[in-house]
Structure 1
Amino acid sequence: MSFRFASASLLALSLTACATVPAETPLAPVAPAAEAAPADVATLLDAVAIPYEKFTLDNGLTVLVHTDRKAPVVGVTTYYRVGSKHEPRGRTGFAHLFEHIMFTGSENVENFDIPLEAAGSTGTNGSTSPDRTNYVETVPTGALDLALMMESDRMGHLLGAVNQDKLDKQRGVVKNEKNQGDNQPYGLVRYLINDGLLPVGHPYRHSTIGSMADLDAASIADVREWFRNNYGPNNVVLALTGDIDVETARAKVTRWFGDIPRGPEVTPAVAAPVNLAAPVSRDVADQVPQTRVYRLWTGPGMKDADGTALQVGMHVLGGLASSRLDTALVREEQLAVNVAAYYDQEEQLGTAAVSMDIRPGVDRAVAEARLDALIADYIASGPTEDELRRAATQIVSGQIDGLEQVGDFGGKGMTLAEGELYTGDPEFYIKQLRSLASVRPGEVKGAMQRWLSRPVYKLAIVPGPRTEKGALLGGWGDEGTVPAPAPDAKKPAPPIVQGPPRAMPEVGPVKPLTFPTVEHARLSNGIPVTLARRTAIPKVSMAVEFDAGIAADGAARAGTQSLMMDLLDEATTTRTAQQIAEEEERLGADIGTGTDRDASVVRMTALTANLTPSLALMADVIRNPAFAEGDVTRVKNQRLAGIQQALASPQALAGRALDPILYGAAHPYGSVGALGKPEVVQALTPAALRTEHGNWIRPDAARITVVGDVTMADLLPRLEAALGNWTAPAGTAQPKNLAAPVPAPTPRIVVIDRPNSPSSVLLFGRVLPITGAQQGLESLDLANEVIGNGFLSRLNMDLRETKGWTYGIRSGIASSAGPRSAVVQTMVQADRTGDSIRAVIDQMKAFPATRGVEPAELQRVTEGNIANLPTRYQTNAAVLGALISNQRFGRPDDYQARLPEIYRAIDADAIDAAAREYLQPDRMVVIVVGDRKVIDSQLAGIGLPIEYRSASEF
């Protein structure tokens, strides 16, 4: 799937030292795995029901309406029945290119994002798959008319606003998106899979993003013809979900869409699964650290009963944490560091895939033979009843999480619209889940034998110089032998007669955020407990935080804390890793560990009905890790492989270099991040990890935060039973010295060579003279939003929308307890590396020296942010994150509810002052990861000292 704008997440920031404290006495055994009651899948399925009503306009537009009044917001989800499988030869990538063009404005709307974000829209985005194109936004109820007017304007009043300049700019953005994906380790696999499985001309063979040649050939005439043939209302499903009812929806949709004429019907594609005549094997060299092998077959589309059986069957094989492949290849025999199996299902075609990253040092032939033997045995024997039930519970529980959102990607609107578009039944998802929950072992065995006993495509990505060029992949497939149709890109298109002007409606009143009431308590051993009760779904989300994090390591011990945390759920003194995984799956729980800059965290989501046994399992993981020799060795090997993968990824490599350069080795934050250094990881022993656990994972350093369907009166006794008798060991952990000095800023360019890179990663950073404890810095947050945090930011509008040099650029202010940092990150086309650095510097210097915050920007980041508060806190996870931030940084419980008054008190002068003080480029280091042969000559005239570093240093 290809998106209009995938946010470039800011790279991990990092790190300190610790003292030796005796480990605590282990807790008595909690409930053994065999006593865990399985979740009631039938009850879970009731929780994912989405009641809806449906109507159709005279022009064929199908409308689905679901009422959910929990927040004053409406999800607007529009699905067009056109995707890459409908593209003709020579026009690959058109559906996705057009997805981008449809955001650039229509005859009556200059820019879709500006009015939507000003009105409080969130999640404004679009995506393209082989089967469809969609557009999503979630808006305050008072802005629904605005959203519908704009969706209808681009459906019925678009072509008069599409010109050569817009086409050329979005073509550049898409080409950079393609390069960004191709530039990753294993980044060409998406093309190679379809090339090996499907013949030339099969509708699913060419990639959604298309080929460079076809993108270059697109003309205005082509674009107009594509739009007229595919974007009529009779080819559209519109879902309105949230604070809306069918009567209101009918009136509004008729008003805005009723006069748009029908268009041609989209011709259905003929796209059946393909049987290979014989097994196919292919090795492709790439700049990767480990060999990855695939086993691949095509399969049926989503309406075929075998599709459901294959989905759950592949999940048992390699999707569950307790999967057969994980158990044998990773845990027991340690032939692989990572395995996966899945069934990727489109409307008319599916792909069954198994992948394995072979552990360094293992003979490839031995690993592959064992993988093939396990697959063959599974096809012959099929899954057990228990495996199927655990897989079904996990899949359904995950679906519940997605349905917390009324709109956006993965929310209720998408779920209903996809069922209607693909099957004519908006409730197809629930029928599919019921089928999945009731499927029997014999049915799965039969489906696996029918589809996976056919000739297999074996693909291997092996370490070496990259032999394939992504620019030449993704197209029709016969470009080397048959010339593409001659492009007509230079011929001017005749003018379009525009329709009568349409005025944008006024935005109605926006209801304020209702943030849940926050309660506090303590366990008998002093652990603080914070709860926000939310009853939208029958689940509870929880975080148990410890005041440690990457900063507990420091540069010298980088990776110690996170490796210790990774081992918590590998085995306890009473449970094996397999038992832990199986128990989670039966309960419908998800327990995970993590390490950020300032804290080490155990997180859990659990079904309310199974909260007590889920807490018992989590408590065992926290308190009684085994740190067995075999588990430690295995996880260390996986971590070492993960470090090599990071060094092969340009973004991850830049991220590893950032904090050592900014903070220096003497500061707790000055390490390469959570993965750590290979020599540190290699030296860790079970005894050292037990000491690390005793030092930092202790009740006097813990805090529990809970959001979900439980009361404090019900929660506290359960937490007390699980964690209340946990006593702190003698002594105290050595505090992290976050006040340690950092190096004086030395502006320069640091170049890390990555040969054969079609794009360059740019990472600008500086340490700020502020810490997380300082309050009243919201003006800095808003200034950051103006310059680089969001689609409409100055940096993104310049480098992406105006210049077309990048797929996206972001800036951010690190949320850390100690000194915070300002970071700008992007990936740009390699031949524009130097120009992009200059453009970023120029934009940052200009704000506010020659261009202070403008009225539209001020309105967007103040009133627009106030209006979008209800949509930002729709989910348990979002509320949990807000509570954790409030506690870490000393904010009041009602901080989110106070934001409207805080934002309204911030004026243009305050935002300009924050930009002048904290967001100037003169103190920034610029890290460049790219091909020196291409970029060296571009950097010479920038005026900054240039320093060359090796990837091995990080």
Structure 2
Amino acid sequence: MKTVFRRSLPFAFLAPFALAACATAQSPAPLAETTAPATPSDSSLTALVDEVQIPYERFTLENGLTTLVHTDRKAPIVGVTVYYRVGSRHEPRGRTGFAHLFEHLMFGGSENVENFDIPLEAAGSTSTNGSTWYDRTNYVETVPTGALDLALFMESDRMGYLLGAVTQEKLDNQRMVVQNEKRQNDNQPYGLLDYLMAEGLLPVGHPYRHDTIGSMADLEAASLTDVQKWFRDNYGPNNVVLVLAGDIDAATARPMVERWFGDIPRGPEVAEAPGGPVTLAAPVERVVTDQVPATQIYRSWTGPEMTDPDAIPVAVGMHILGGLASSRLDNAMVRGDEIATTVSAYALGFEEMSRLVTMVEVKDGVEREAAEAKLVAETERLIAEGPTAAELERAQTSLIASTVGGLERVGGFGGKGMVLAEGELYTGDAEHYRKELEAIAALTPAQVQGALQRWLSRPAYTLSIVPGERKLDGATMGGWGDEDLYPPPAPDARAPVEVTRTAPPREAPPVLPVDELTFPQVERATLSNGIEVVLARRDAVPMVSMTLTFAAGSVVDPVDSAGRHETMMDLLTEGTTSRSALDIAIALEELGSSLSAGAGVETSQVTLTTLTSNLAPSVELMADVTLNPAFRAEDVARVKEQRLAEIAQELASPGSLASKAFMPLIYGEEHPYAHASSSGDPAVVSALTPAALKAEHDRWLRPDLAQITAVGDVSMAELVAALEAGFGDWQPLTSVPPIRYLAAPGPAPRAQIVGVDRPNSPSSYLMLGRLTPLVGEPEGIEVIETANEVLGGGFLSRLNSDLRETKGWTYGIRSGIPAATGQRRFSIATQVQADRTGDSIVAIVDQLKAYPATAPVDPVELQRVTDGNVRNLPNRFETNGQVLGALVSNRLFGRDIRYQAQLPEIYRAMDADALNAAAAEYLVPDNLTIVVVGDRETVAPQLEQLGMDVTWLDAEVL
């Protein structure tokens, strides 16, 4: 499936919810001179920890299957999470990547299920997915309560009745899909990093050395015999943790689990592959050239296993070094000497070891050696001095507070089911997350310093990736590591292997009726300055999320000023007239809040998430950054450098290159949408002045262009009181507010192919589409969007089923008609293996021609995109963030504020004729603009065979 490789802190619970392990640039200010709220006491940290509770019940079947059940009745949904104790570290030499390949195969159907996704999505499942990592393989879905029995049947059939359905054809197809996933990952800037990091830190044969996705040669060697042996050796119920979280209890769950899983026999215990931390004999340095826009330096070590007493203190120490917004590396290298555009430090945890990583992206014009020396010096300074009490308290509060919001999700990646499963699988204790949180709350500076001294004083592996020619081949990397000594394994001979049913047939259970979506009621108020406030009250977690939205966005920039408005929004959190950027960062960390400011295409937003108990001071901070940005010259200079670095990254990314070429072609160079999705024009950004940015702020950030939308555990009276205290003195201007101009006509659609040469690309990025006559949210837009869902709007769409599941040429493909208040476009995007670029374009066009002319919507598709969408609505609005996003969109597009509550009626009114008619009018292949980003030498001959003129653009001038 759409595999996610999980990269995280080593905390089993904190990992899904912890603050991002990278720090943003802030203005310089000594720690001793900052002004911030009082730091939390031990009792307040304990109170935060007490907010994180996942009570559960346990039972174990005779065959060894361990089941944990957590009851959460806030919505009629259940998260199903299945963890197998097998990952890439269990793979033998010559079969790297096999655990991940097998994960893909387990989505291909079983002896009693032709396709796992079709019945689950038809029943209303969301987050139907799986992933593989070094220590485990997992499968997740969140289903309506009435579909739980079906989901358990599916998972049990995958576990006990698989082999009779895995054919050579399926193996060959999923092998190609995984190889294209590898090509796609390798094709990104810094795409070889993981291979290089593992090679430098670990010796050949260490189970954590080879990459989870493996090498091309090993993937090609996997045979059906391997598949059958791997399944029998590793996928027995005694090697599994099943977690059910949500609208379910153990008394109800046990007979269901026994019914479906009880007859599956035990299997062998998974053979362990010990792989603890390794200490290098001496420091190692490596410099690698690649097609990247900036030098990045990584300094890393292996670290302690998950249950080691040092795991928590060393990870918190790394957070202080380069994870906090007020981190040591940020203060020294981004704000202080201003020699880096981005820094980070983090612990990446596995069951038996971890990676401790520091990273610096070097500012243009700075010598790599100088940046590396500063990175070493700041790391050694923290080791020698240890963190201050204030630094530790900020790290403790921010990390623990960030877990509270994660309690909203019962399933999926990062949900409560995953937290319990990982604790049980890795440590034998489903409540291991509590021990981690309690350990964080109890830490002292001396404990953190001691852990850092023990682990970061060892020899480091330093890897520098610098701009230049890519000389390494990702296809040969990721394997065991001794390929230079031994020939690669022989490719799969496709020898006949008996594939027969292993057990009598079983019938899938029916899906019970599903409760209707309960979309929250909405309250309205108006502040004294006229700003309208909308609140949806939800008390699942003691938190509030809110967005201050302005009718602006990057579309307000004229073409000759692209990037001005976004840069202005970036600077809001970089300092106010009374606070430095470091003051802001420290205040947020001590409050356990997050605050961001940025510009989308059609709106500019300041967004706050905070504990309800800290609402008032957090809103005051939100108001300060919105109303009183300082635009100091030094802050402006630094943020401009960071935005220029973002622009350079876009020019190195195949997807961004495709978008930068595609949007002006279909909208026209002068249209507001033409450049609104990019980070701007480097010349424009370089020329920006503090005065110009302040003028931009004063023009667009005004109360008569603002709306406030909030979701969470707060009353309207409490919310209004906090908002009045923060924003009440912000009075409307007497001048007429500016208006976004979005009605510029686009060029007439015409058929054209435009290539962008990106040498050494193992994949080609395709973007196809044209403008539609649709503007804003016309009546019946839901029918058009649902017709597109059949074509390319999801994993089961026709395009994805053809190019990925049947042909194996891509890791995924999507089509859509993105929402907009102006003229909307129809577009298709995918990354395909380079030697199938031309074939993929033909296949996409063929699918467009067939729908609906020769292939109208069939009954299975119709049920999935209508009744299936009705059934999955409760899943789609489970969290505060999901509801907040819906409300903000409703206000932007002029919908009824509770529009989502109307969707069941809208979906049920659709029929096949309506979807076919929409496809025939809006999803046809006429006059497509086709952009291809790839290796011209490989791609050009294929494009010539299509019979269309091809224009090639220079990536440097996009």
Q: Answer yes or no: is the 8 Å Cα contact 1:403–1:410 preserved in 2.
A: no
Q: 1:320 aligns with which of 321, 324, 349?
A: 324
The alpha-carbon deviation at position 150 of structure 1 amounts to: 0.7
In structure 2, distance between residues paired with 1:172 and 1:35: 55
| Structure 2 counterpart of 1:780 | 784
* CA deviation vs aligned residue, 1:45-102 (integer Å, no higher than 9, x gap): 1222100011100000000000000000000000000000000001100100000000
Whether 1:204 aligns to 2:243 is: no
Whether 1:126 aligns to 2:141 is: no
Larger deviation, residues 811-820 vs 237-246: 811-820
Q: Answer yes or no: is the 8 Å Cα contact 1:417–1:426 preserved in 2.
A: yes
Q: Which runs of 5+ in 2 are unaligned?
A: 7-33
Larger deviation, residues 752-761 vs 720-729: 720-729
The alpha-carbon deviation at position 33 of structure 1 amounts to: 3.6
Other structure's SS at 1:90 match: coil
| Structure 2 counterpart of 1:11 | none
The alpha-carbon deviation at position 34 of structure 1 amounts to: 2.7
Whether 1:98 aligns to 2:102 is: yes
Q: 2:239 aligns with which of 230, 235, 239?
A: 235
The alpha-carbon deviation at position 491 of structure 1 amounts to: 2.1
Whether 1:285 aligns to 2:289 is: yes
* CA deviation vs aligned residue, 1:449-470 (integer Å, no higher than 9, x gap): 1011111101000111001100
Whether 1:364 aligns to 2:363 is: no
The alpha-carbon deviation at position 733 of structure 1 amounts to: 3.8
Q: 1:614 aligns with which of 600, 614, 618?
A: 618
Other structure's SS at 1:568 match: helix
The alpha-carbon deviation at position 640 of structure 1 amounts to: 0.7
Whether 1:729 aligns to 2:733 is: yes
* CA deviation vs aligned residue, 1:576-622 (integer Å, no higher than 9, x gap): 00000000000011000121111111111011000000000000000
The alpha-carbon deviation at position 484 of structure 1 amounts to: 4.6
| Structure 2 counterpart of 1:35 | 37
Whether 1:932 aligns to 2:931 is: no
Larger deviation, residues 500-509 vs 660-669: 660-669
| Structure 2 counterpart of 1:438 | 442
Q: Answer yes or no: is the 8 Å Cα contact 2:221–2:489 preserved in 1.
A: no
Q: Answer yes or no: is the 8 Å Cα contact 1:656–1:672 preserved in 2.
A: no
Other structure's SS at 1:403 match: helix
Other structure's SS at 1:755 match: coil
| Structure 1 counterpart of 2:845 | 841
Structure 1 runs of 4+ aligned residues shifted over 4 Å read 484-488
The alpha-carbon deviation at position 38 of structure 1 amounts to: 3.8
The alpha-carbon deviation at position 305 of structure 1 amounts to: 1.2
1:745-894 to 2 correspondence within 5 Å? Answer: 745-894=749-898
The alpha-carbon deviation at position 488 of structure 1 amounts to: 5.5
The alpha-carbon deviation at position 487 of structure 1 amounts to: 5.4
Q: 2:82 aligns with which of 66, 78, 85?
A: 78
Larger deviation, residues 548-557 vs 99-108: 548-557
Other structure's SS at 1:936 match: helix
| Structure 2 counterpart of 1:21 | none
Letter in 2 for 1:500: P
The alpha-carbon deviation at position 37 of structure 1 amounts to: 5.9
In structure 1, distance between residues paired with 2:368 and 2:654: 26
Q: Answer yes or no: is the 8 Å Cα contact 1:554–1:669 preserved in 2.
A: no
The alpha-carbon deviation at position 665 of structure 1 amounts to: 2.4
| Structure 1 counterpart of 2:173 | 169
Q: 1:37 to 1:270 in 2, by over 3 A?
A: closer
1:125-204 to 2 correspondence within 5 Å? Answer: 125-204=129-208
Q: Answer yes or no: is the 8 Å Cα contact 2:289–2:469 preserved in 1.
A: yes
Q: Answer yes or no: is the 8 Å Cα contact 2:306–2:349 preserved in 1.
A: yes
1:242-261 to 2 correspondence within 5 Å? Answer: 242-261=246-265
Letter in 2 for 1:428: H
The alpha-carbon deviation at position 486 of structure 1 amounts to: 4.6
In structure 2, distance between residues paired with 1:626 and 1:763: 41
In structure 2, distance between residues paired with 1:221 and 1:176: 23
In structure 2, distance between residues paired with 1:485 and 1:823: 41
Other structure's SS at 2:572 match: coil
The alpha-carbon deviation at position 401 of structure 1 amounts to: 2.1
* CA deviation vs aligned residue, 1:387-431 (integer Å, no higher than 9, x gap): 111112211222222221100000000000000000010000111
Q: Answer yes or no: is the 8 Å Cα contact 1:218–1:489 preserved in 2.
A: no
Letter in 1 for 2:953: R
Whether 1:379 aligns to 2:383 is: yes
| Structure 1 counterpart of 2:268 | 264
Q: Answer yes or no: is the 8 Å Cα contact 1:694–1:729 preserved in 2.
A: no
Letter in 1 for 2:126: T
Letter in 1 for 2:397: T
Percent identity between the two aligned chains: 60
Q: 1:907 aligns with which of 904, 911, 920?
A: 911
Q: Answer yes or no: is the 8 Å Cα contact 1:532–1:706 preserved in 2.
A: yes
Q: 1:114 aligns with which of 118, 122, 125?
A: 118
Q: Answer yes or no: is the 8 Å Cα contact 1:554–1:671 preserved in 2.
A: no
In structure 1, distance between residues paired with 2:687 and 2:745: 28
In structure 2, distance between residues paired with 1:247 and 1:91: 42
How many residues were matched structurally?
Answer: 930
In structure 1, distance between residues paired with 2:39 and 2:665: 51
Other structure's SS at 2:573 match: coil
CA RMSD for the aligned pairs?
A: 1.4
The alpha-carbon deviation at position 6 of structure 1 amounts to: 9.5
Whether 1:418 aligns to 2:418 is: no
* CA deviation vs aligned residue, 1:123-153 (integer Å, no higher than 9, x gap): 0000000000000000000001100001000
| Structure 2 counterpart of 1:572 | 576
Letter in 2 for 1:519: E
Q: Answer yes or no: is the 8 Å Cα contact 2:40–2:590 preserved in 1.
A: yes
Q: Which runs of 5+ in 1 are unaligned?
A: 8-31
Other structure's SS at 2:878 match: coil
In structure 2, distance between residues paired with 1:881 and 1:944: 42
| Structure 2 counterpart of 1:47 | 51
Q: 1:456 aligns with which of 456, 460, 464?
A: 460
Q: Answer yes or no: is the 8 Å Cα contact 2:569–2:598 preserved in 1.
A: yes
| Structure 1 counterpart of 2:30 | none
In structure 2, distance between residues paired with 1:38 and 1:378: 22
Q: Answer yes or no: is the 8 Å Cα contact 1:196–1:457 preserved in 2.
A: yes
| Structure 1 counterpart of 2:551 | 547
In structure 2, distance between residues paired with 1:385 and 1:648: 41
In structure 2, distance between residues paired with 1:755 and 1:762: 15
Q: Answer yes or no: is the 8 Å Cα contact 1:301–1:346 preserved in 2.
A: yes
Larger deviation, residues 352-361 vs 762-771: 762-771
Of structures 1 and 2, the one scoring higher in RCO (CA 8 A, sep 6+) is 1
Whether 1:509 aligns to 2:508 is: no
1:587-736 to 2 correspondence within 5 Å? Answer: 587-671=591-675, 673-736=677-740
Larger deviation, residues 165-174 vs 812-821: 812-821
Q: 1:422 to 1:296 in 2, by over 3 A?
A: same
The alpha-carbon deviation at position 497 of structure 1 amounts to: 4.2
Letter in 2 for 1:813: I
In structure 2, distance between residues paired with 1:663 and 1:933: 29
In structure 1, distance between residues paired with 2:36 and 2:554: 36
Q: Answer yes or no: is the 8 Å Cα contact 2:291–2:652 preserved in 1.
A: yes
1:485-524 to 2 correspondence within 5 Å? Answer: 485-486=489-490, 489-524=493-528
| Structure 2 counterpart of 1:4 | 3
Q: Answer yes or no: is the 8 Å Cα contact 1:562–1:674 preserved in 2.
A: no
| Structure 1 counterpart of 2:472 | 468
The alpha-carbon deviation at position 776 of structure 1 amounts to: 2.5
